[in-house]
Structure 1
Amino acid sequence: MNWAAIGAIYRFEMARFFRTLMQSFLSPVLSTSLYFVVFGAAIGSRIQEVEGVSYGAFIVPGLVMLSVITQAISNASFGIYFPKFTGTIYELLSAPVNFLEIVLGYVGAAATKALFIGIVILLTASFFVELSIAHPLAMVLFLLLTCLSFALLGFIIGIWATNFEQLQLVPLLIVTPLIFLGGSFYSISMLPPMWQTITLFNPVVYLISGFRWSFFGMADVPIGLSLMAIAAFTCLCLGVIWWIFRTGWRIRS
């Protein structure tokens, strides 16, 4: 394993993040505050509690997942797309670095950035509501797995994209709607039976449900099923990335 190469890629990507640290820091703080004003105040005044948890606290795991998933995808996709756009990816491919080391560098940096944003969201939320974490180790595990798995997805999107518009296509048209329809701001038990069944086909439901369980000890789906779903998604992304580097799809052409 070429740890020097992994470290060089990781430090390069993190340096780009720290150059815009204030923007990266202020954006999630402002967006989280806005969500609390709109959902916590407006809707929270009508929905006092959800399964014994105040509505303001109930939406915190969903807010964290929303920010972490979108940030992991955007950082990873832009990180690998920009070398493709400038042509410097060929220098990377010709270097004595294998695909796993490239992935570890780019995906590791994107996951670190998303984790930072998730922590910022949690700290911001603590100023609005009283938070208690019933299972802190499970919370950290779900947070890390989510950052990693969606950074891998973002890496795939960055390789697939042929222009900057396509970088936003999947996150805006597919991922973000799935997050909003995955129980971010409500419990799927509040839906009619037919829609509860349909919602279970949304993979994001299992992430949000498991992450919410780590806070309040309640979940819409079994916690074991949530862990299996995110593990399977991570393995699927790794398999796709292996195939991409094996065939050179959208990299060497």
Structure 2
Amino acid sequence: MVSGTSTDGAGPRRTQARPRRRWLRWLLLSPLVFALLTTAQVLVLRFVDPPLSAFMIARHFKAIGEGDWSYRTRYDWRDLDAIAPALPVSLVAAEDQNFATHHGFDLDAIEKARAHNQRMIERAEKRGTPVKRLRGASTISQQTAKNLFLWSGRSWVRKGLEAWYTVLIEALWPKHRILEMYANIAEFGDGTYGAQAASVRFFNRDASRLTANQAARLAAVLPNPRRYDAGKPGPYVLKRSAAIQRQAGHLGGAAWLRTLD
């Protein structure tokens, strides 16, 4: 008797091939899906103020993991027009003096930081001492991308995502919005994010009433806001804030903000 069922194995092989083709198709489409989703994410945040940032969420979970149940996130959004102009100008003076002209990455600052850090490493090796105060070259756009969307730490994956989000932010947001976002999500003290929360915590006043000196002190702690205190500044913060005020004056002060797009 001859059976009508094929015995050449083509049917099962064809059935097994379909899931593989489907998996390969999704693998090829995943970069496009990722690009579309992240572009939409950034575009929405051009118009919508975020209730939290990735850094805020990560810090809160870290505190819980350490058993610190009293930890609280201080965060209170303020539009840039409701923040004393001295603060955003101080942030640019301290962090990214070419903010208005670069497109997300300051190549000159990167090269200067690389050369400076190499000298510091060589000196430390000769002396047999730890390396101190390496210089970073991240722009405000890069820091906004990192704080808003990503996690802390060092890895090529995180740096790649930071670069991608930086490109999107620069392409989809005006400079005014980037600076407004940074002024609201930057960490100025442990658990204290943004101009308004920092102004109330350290100076007991609204962000709109910050003086030039207070704004410079807030900008001065940004290298390490959990180590330095804007409310009770030590010699380093005082020296750095004085330099920031001088540089803010060179930029043009409050009038400089009106040059942003």
Rg bigger for which structure?
2
TM-score (norm. length: structure 1):
0.26
TM-score (norm. length: structure 2):
0.26
Structure with greater helix share of residues: 1
